[in-house]
């Protein structure tokens, strides 16, 4: 079990408004030849090279793509028309996955056994060549020649396509990411395809005698986009959005979204939400009578964002379910939408979006936007942890130790194995939580020695992983300086940790909480003069940052230091 594995769909590249990246390829062994009536079928690679070596290959490829798209559109509703279209496809390119896919279906429906078996043999032959050692991952993409062949490949597995986007990197100059799901209730999965074999021949044909960049996909993508290729249109829109050329990006993305491309809808929703925020800032300064060229209002941009989120949700996007669920609960679309928000977040959770369940757990725990409900909080946090999401496991463990006590965490059989497995992956915060459990004797025998071992291991690991290191060091230092457990307290070690952190990390010196811990470690070692000085720095920083949430506790700590008292706090 690998608890660090995340749901396969990740729209972070769209959040960053960049093209999705692929990965290293693996070389597959020569596939076993498939025979029909005792005769081996021709080499797929040979047929591909023959097709790509023709002088008018770009024209032929566009015609092939047009016919393949037409055949796939007919396959569901008008199968009797597939015969002529499929034959026209194979006349242009005899190794078309799409052509053999639709003709196998056509002859199967006609109960023409011999013809059906011929195309079934071709499909086995094509699949053997396509798959080899590939698995559709970033590191081992399937190698095909067109987006329609990729669609036929998915359809052969019974998957529903929901989005497509071309990709480019050094290893895969022309890649394709496809989103698909097994049914309308199943989570989205990504499948990676490598179409790089067509890039140079088609680009050379486009350029003619002009100088070309062999691995530059953009001339080809522009040509494909002009031929109504939704993935190419979405790729161009994504690139323009990355350049913050939002109006131009919107034009391409709107076109790409029409046939149902989740990538386009997701990015449209984000751009429109960004534009809503910009419009909201400008509206008080605008006079409607001053301009004939009226831009949409903030409310209209919000409505466009909503529509695209809903379309992405209809295509199975757990990310849009999570985003829109939060927007509903946080009243960006007005009050009285909590029920819809909860339903969307629960739906996202069922599709593997742990963040959605964590959000619900947090809201029901704090009562910030939803009524406080400890039972609901525990249930949602447990569901999130069961998805084996690291943040969810940590949140669930911390909640059980602080909110419900030893009996609940001890009864949860899976939690300790989850935490230990996380610790085995050098997850510093899991080590801190394991230290807390050992210190309190929850789920494991009470042991200050073992707790200290976990804390020190967490600090060493955090020091080698910059992200999050300050939080780990701050928490461990606070615990060891303030614990009432004599055998666990190590004030000098805590002060040394904070001295090193604050000397090296400018961002940490800007945090009132960290300055408070630093002062506390000095008080714990009896140096109240330095503790008072540093606590005053913490208060000044909090006042400067208008941190009213921490000022009261900072001043209480200063009073204790002035009275010669150290801070005593329970282990979390």
pLDDT at 355: 97
Q: What angle do CA 445, 449, 454 make, to 5 degrees?
A: 90
What does the alpha-carbon distance between residue 141 and residue 440 come to, in Å, rounded to a whole number? 49
pLDDT at 30: 53
- In this predicted model, which residue has the larger pLDDT, 554 or 282? 554
What does the alpha-carbon distance between residue 267 and residue 246 come to, in Å, rounded to a whole number? 11
Tell me the pLDDT tens digit for each residue of 380-420: 999 999 999 999 999 998 888 776 555 555 556 788 899 99
Tell me the pLDDT tens digit for each residue of 85-114: 999 999 999 999 999 999 999 999 999 899
User: 111 is in which domain, residue-wise?
Assistant: 20-25+39-207+214-227
Query: Cα–Cα distances in Å, from 44 out to 41, 125, 141, 344?
Result: 9, 8, 17, 46
What does the alpha-carbon distance between residue 278 and residue 257 come to, in Å, rounded to a whole number? 23
Q: What is the mean pLDDT of residues 49-70?
A: 95
Pairing of strands 35-36, 175-181: unpaired
What does the alpha-carbon distance between residue 130 and residue 144 come to, in Å, rounded to a whole number? 7
DSSP 8-state code for residue 404? I
Q: Is residue 174 part of a domain?
A: yes
310, pLDDT greater than 70: yes
C-alpha closest to that of 519 among 532, 508, 502, 505: 532
Q: Is residue 127 part of a domain?
A: yes
Contact predicate 434/448, CB 8 Å: no
- In this predicted model, which residue has the larger pLDDT, 392 or 29? 392
29-38 as b/e: b if 16+ CB within 10 A? eebeebebee
Token couple for 178:
């496809």
Confidence of residue 6 (pLDDT cuts 50, 70, 90): very low
Tell me the pLDDT tens digit for each residue of 128-176: 999 988 999 999 999 999 999 999 999 999 999 999 999 998 889 999 9
pLDDT at 370: 95
Strand partners, 40: 35
Q: Is residue 278 part of a domain?
A: no
Pairing of strands 142-143, 189-194: parallel
pLDDT at 413: 75
- Identify the residue whose tokens are 């979006």: 353
What does the alpha-carbon distance between residue 261 and residue 308 come to, in Å, rounded to a whole number? 11
Tell me the pLDDT tens digit for each residue of 114-129: 999 999 999 999 999 9
367, pLDDT greater than 90: yes
| Total domains, the chain | 2
pLDDT at 193: 97
Confidence of residue 442 (pLDDT cuts 50, 70, 90): confident
Q: Is residue 57 part of a domain?
A: yes
- In this predicted model, which residue has the larger pLDDT, 216 or 516? 516
Tell me the pLDDT tens digit for each residue of 213-260: 778 899 999 999 999 999 999 999 999 999 999 999 999 999 999 999
- pTM (2 decimals)? 0.84
Q: What is the mean pLDDT of residues 496-504?
A: 95
Quick one: how many helices (H) and strands (E) in the chain?
28, 6
Token couple for 118:
């011929």
User: Where is the domain boundary, 384, 402, 425?
Assistant: 425
What does the alpha-carbon distance between residue 448 and residue 440 come to, in Å, rounded to a whole number? 9
Q: What is the mean pLDDT of residues 517-544?
A: 97
What does the alpha-carbon distance between residue 119 and residue 106 come to, in Å, rounded to a whole number? 10
Q: Is residue 491 part of a domain?
A: no
Q: What is the mean pLDDT of residues 427-449?
A: 92
Q: Is residue 387 part of a domain?
A: yes
User: Where is the domain boundary, 227, 257, 279?
Assistant: 227
User: Where is the domain boundary, 425, 445, 473?
Assistant: 425
pLDDT at 170: 85
pLDDT at 19: 32
pLDDT at 495: 97
Q: Is residue 119 part of a domain?
A: yes
Q: Is residue 443 part of a domain?
A: no
Compute CA 336 distance to the chain's CA centroid, rounded to the nearest angstrom. 29
Compute CA 539 distance to the chain's CA centroid, rounded to the nearest angstrom. 39
Q: What is the mean pLDDT of residues 51-75?
A: 95
Compute CA 15 distance to the chain's CA centroid, rounded to the nearest angstrom. 9
18, pLDDT greater than 80: no
Helices (H), 167-229: 199-207, 218-226
**Beta-carbon-side half-sphere exposure of residue 177 (alpha carbons within 13 Å):** 28
What does the alpha-carbon distance between residue 539 and residue 515 come to, in Å, rounded to a whole number? 9
pLDDT at 401: 79
What does the alpha-carbon distance between residue 141 and residue 161 come to, in Å, rounded to a whole number? 17
Average pLDDT, the chain: 89
287, pLDDT greater than 90: no
The CA radius of gyration of the chain, in Å to the nearest whole number, is 30
12, pLDDT greater than 50: no
Helices (H), 469-511: 469-482, 491-504, 506-509
């Amino acid at each position: 079990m690998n608890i660090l594995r995340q749901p396969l769909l990740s729209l972070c590249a769209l959040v960053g408004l960049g093209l999705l990246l692929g990965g290293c390829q693996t070389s597959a062994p020569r596939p076993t030849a498939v025979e029909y009536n005792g005769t081996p079928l021709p080499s797929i690679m040979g047929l591909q090279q023959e097709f790509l070596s023709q002088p008018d290959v770009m024209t032929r490829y566009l015609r092939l793509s047009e016919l393949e798209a037409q055949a796939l559109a007919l396959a569901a509703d008008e199968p009797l028309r597939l015969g002529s279209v499929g034959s026209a496809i194979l006349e242009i390119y005899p190794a078309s996955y799409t052509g053999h896919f639709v003709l196998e279906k056509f002859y199967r429906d006609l109960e023409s056994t011999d013809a059906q078996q011929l195309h079934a043999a071709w499909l086995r032959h094509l699949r053997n060549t396509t798959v080899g050692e590939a698995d559709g991952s970033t590191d081992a993409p399937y190698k095909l020649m067109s987006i329609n062949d990729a669609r036929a490949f998915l359809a052969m597995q019974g998957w529903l396509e929901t989005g497509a986007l071309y990709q480019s990197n050094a290893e895969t100059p022309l890649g394709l990411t496809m989103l698909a799901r097994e049914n309308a209730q199943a989570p989205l999965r990504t499948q990676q395809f490598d179409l790089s074999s067509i890039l140079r021949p088609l680009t050379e044909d486009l350029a003619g005698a002009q100088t070309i960049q062999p691995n530059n996909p953009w001339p080809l993508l522009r040509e494909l986009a002009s031929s109504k290729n939704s993935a190419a249109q979405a790729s161009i829109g994504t690139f323009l959005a990355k350049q913050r050329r939002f109006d131009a990006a919107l034009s391409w993305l709107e076109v790409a979204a029409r046939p149902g491309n989740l990538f386009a809808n997701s990015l449209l929703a984000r751009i429109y939400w960004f534009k809503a925020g910009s419009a909201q800032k400008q509206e008080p300064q605008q006079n409607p009578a001053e301009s004939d060229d009226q831009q949409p209002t903030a409310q209209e941009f919000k409505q466009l964002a909503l529509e695209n989120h809903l379309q992405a949700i209809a295509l199975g996007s757990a990310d849009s379910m999570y985003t829109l669920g939060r927007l509903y609960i946080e009243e960006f679309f007005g009050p009285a939408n909590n029920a819809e928000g909860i339903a969307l977040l629960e739906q996202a959770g069922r599709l593997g979006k742990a963040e959605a369940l964590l959000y619900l757990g947090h809201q029901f725990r704090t009562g910030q936007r939803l009524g406080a409900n400890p039972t609901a909080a525990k249930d949602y946090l447990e569901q999130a942890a069961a998805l084996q999401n690291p943040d969810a496991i940590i949140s669930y463990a911390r909640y059980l130790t602080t909110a419900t006590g030893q009996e609940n965490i001890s009864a949860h059989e899976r939690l300790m194995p989850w935490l230990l497995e996380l610790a085995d992956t050098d997850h510093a915060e899991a080590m801190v939580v394991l230290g807390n459990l050992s210190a309190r004797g929850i789920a494991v025998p009470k042991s200050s020695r073992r707790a200290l071992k976990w804390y020190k291991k967490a600090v060493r690991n955090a020091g080698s992983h910059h992200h999050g290191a300050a939080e780990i060091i701050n928490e461990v230092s606070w615990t060891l300086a303030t614990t009432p457990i004599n055998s666990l307290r190590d004030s000098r070690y805590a002060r040394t940790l904070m001295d090193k952190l604050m000397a090296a990390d400018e961002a940490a010196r800007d945090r009132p909480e960290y300055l408070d811990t630093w002062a506390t470690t000095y008080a714990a070692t009896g140096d109240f003069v330095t503790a008072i000085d540093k606590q005053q720095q913490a208060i000044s920083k909090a006042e400067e940052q208008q941190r009213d949430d921490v000022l009261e506790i900072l001043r209480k700590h200063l009073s204790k230091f002035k009275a010669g008292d150290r801070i005593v706090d329970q282990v979390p």
